[in-house]
Amino acid sequence: MTDNAEHIYHIVGAGCGDPELITVKGEKLLKSADVLIYAGSLVNPELVKKSPAEVKLNSWGMKLEEICAEIEKGVLAGKKVVRLHSGDPSIYGSIVEQMAVLEAKGIHAEIVPGVSSMFGAAAALKTEYTLRGVSESVIVTRSAGDTLEKDAIAELSAHKTSMVIFLSTSEIDNVMKKLQHGKDTPVAVIYHVSWPDQK
């Protein structure tokens, strides 16, 4: 049975920036897509260029309903549709809402994970999040913003374990005030990890 007969579309993690960090499966799907819907400037344009898709849509500024309508239109027309997300779609990817809308219409997602920026950051820093005798756990969170009224950074940092804080570069001063780690605790702020302009 083909993807089209089953009404399937593919959610693919693009990786954290470097186009060579997409998975083999993700790249195969990208190169065989008829319709590519990608997450704007969050996805390296080199990946978008790799796709021969006849339809390429930048989803920046599109509403959920519009994105779902484009996926539905492509799938029902018998096209292979790839939704290219930045990083790994399971971390701040908003895929659950998208899948719920499309599942209700009998259109099912296949998810292909990607290399999250949290792992790209650890590689760039030549370190790991779980150090024997130092930290055996990792907390993944974000600061408050457009979609989160109050964060739990202060409460979570009381656990004295490694933390990865996403979507917070504009809030770095507030985040630092909330952290309950000592002044000798290593901290790194990384922007555009694995991109040419990484800082």
End-to-end Cα spacing for the chain: 46
**Measured between alpha carbons, how far is 5 from 81 in angstroms, rounded to an integer?**
13
Report the pLDDT value the prediction gives residue 106, as an integer from 0 to 100.
Answer: 97
- Percent residues over pLDDT 90 in the chain: 72
Report the pLDDT value the prediction gives residue 5, as an integer from 0 to 100.
Answer: 57
pLDDT above 50 for 1: no
Answer yes or no: are the C-beta atoms of 114 and 18 closer than 8 Å. Answer: no
Candidate CATH numbers 3.20.20.70, 2.60.40.1120, 3.40.1010.10, 3.40.50.300; the one for domain 3-112: 3.40.1010.10
The long-range contacts involving 146-150, CB below 8 angstroms and separated by at least 24 positions, are: none
Q: What is the pLDDT of residues 75-119, one digit of tens each?
A: 999 999 999 999 999 998 889 999 999 999 999 999 999 999 999
Question: Residue 81's closest CA among 89, 93, 72?
Answer: 72
- Strand ranges in the chain using DSSP code E only, listed in sequence order: 8-13, 35-38, 55-58, 81-85, 108-112, 138-142, 162-166
Band of residue 72 on the pLDDT scale cut at 50, 70, 90: very high
Q: What is the mean pLDDT of the chain?
A: 92
Report the pLDDT value the prediction gives residue 52, as an integer from 0 to 100.
Answer: 96
Q: Show the CA angle centred on residue 196, arms to residues 191 and 199, nearest 5°.
A: 30
Domain regions of the chain by residue span: 3-112, 117-178
Q: If you average pLDDT over residues 54-58, what whole number do you get? A: 96
pLDDT above 60 for 2: no
pLDDT above 90 for 163: yes
Stronger pLDDT, 171 or 1, i.e. the higher one: 171
